[in-house]
Amino acid sequence: MILNLGPQHPATHGTLRIVVRLDGERVISADPIIGYMHRGYEKLTEFRTYPQITTLINRIDWLSSFANEVPFIAAAEQLMGIQAPPRAQYIRTTLTELSRIATFLLFLGEMGLQVGALTPAFYGFRDREHILNLIEAATGGRFHPNFNRIGGLKDDLPWGWVNDTRTAMKTVFDACDTFEDLVAGNEIFEARTRSIGIIPAELGAAYGVSGSNLRASGVNWDLRRDGKPYLVYPELDFRVWTHPDGDSYARYWVRLQETREAARMVLQLLDKMPSGPIMTKVPLIIKVPAGEVWVETENPLGQMGYYVVSRGATGPFRVKIRSASFSNVSILPWLLRGVFVADVITILGSLYFILGDIDR
């Protein structure tokens, strides 16, 4: 029997079609078909100026838009040989971690939904609102901030934002405790996720799986600590969480811990936030010197990188985007082979991908 899962299915988080061949309730093979919402970001960048491109790239992973902007802006700044002021770097790091928290809170709620529990999903949406309110107050946008500028940021933080953020982090810690009590310790959830969808560490790395999905297979690798230094992560004290099992439960557990860790990092950033300007001097019309650069960051969904080629014009000659979700779902044909149909949904949910991050 052939079963078409999607392209419009809640578990696929967008228009992803998976052609599943079954023997009874067992999956014989699964072929993901992508491209239903392909928007040609890489080609579009060749016809935009550098400042205009941030409005495109923050739509790639729409759940963590601010984090999408950071590596591209960093690539342009490296080619120009400039650096944003320290306060701008701290604000960028803070908003990146808030994007991570917002993304993961939704995941923590939706994973309950994948096994039939609706209440965690409501909690996830409710708790994420606190973070989106902070992002909106700082940037003016809830999903597409377009707040980064080459050389700094559009604006400084509004009055009272720092104290509001401290209060919101208490809400994040409480939310994580609630999810842990409600979902992680639930016997149905554990039965549906333990030893299901196991990704061996070596195989995951070979497929290019990154981020929380790879750390849930025991790989202690995080670009915030192990990559080329960026933003102010070298100044922060944080732990990289791993889990040895590599199954759906491990991927949930790692993101739960990373949500708490991101909240701790935000509190550190607020404590150390320097004063000063948020923009360095840049020309009114930005032309990036000729050259090539590769910048990668640890985005909420995993490794994201931009390879930018400039020929000295107001826009790039070529941009190649490496997004996390594209590689994370590449392992699906191997991962889904031999599992029960019902487990396909929990496995897809635990991988947590965004289709904009796949169909670029």
- Per-residue pLDDT of 82-92, as tens digits, reads 999 999 999 99
Which of 53-57, 248-252, 352-356 bottoms out in mean pLDDT, i.e. has the lowest? 352-356
Average pLDDT over residues 1-25: 80
* Mean pLDDT, residues 136-152: 91
Phi and psi dihedrals of 323, rounded to 5? -105, 155
The confidence score (pLDDT) of residue 11 equals: 63
Higher-pLDDT residue of 160 and 115 is 160
pLDDT value for 12:
64
**Whether residue 277 has pLDDT greater than 70:** yes
- Please give the average per-residue pLDDT across 139-146, as a whole number: 88
pLDDT tier at 37, thresholds 50, 70, 90: confident
* Mean pLDDT value of segment 131-143: 93
Query: What's the pLDDT at 284?
Result: 87
Tell me what percent of the residues of the chain surpass a pLDDT of 70: 98
pTM of the model: 0.94
pLDDT band for 75, please (50, 70, 90 cuts).
very high
State the average pLDDT over residues 231-245. 95
pLDDT of residue 100 exceeding 90, the answer is yes
pLDDT value, residue 83: 92
Q: 355 pLDDT exceeds 80?
A: yes
CA dist., res. 13 & res. 16, Å (int):
8
Model confidence at 281: pLDDT above 70: yes
In the block, residue with structure tokens 């050389």 = 151
pLDDT of amino acid 185: 81
Pairing of strands 291-299, 152-153: unpaired
**pLDDT, mean over the chain:** 91
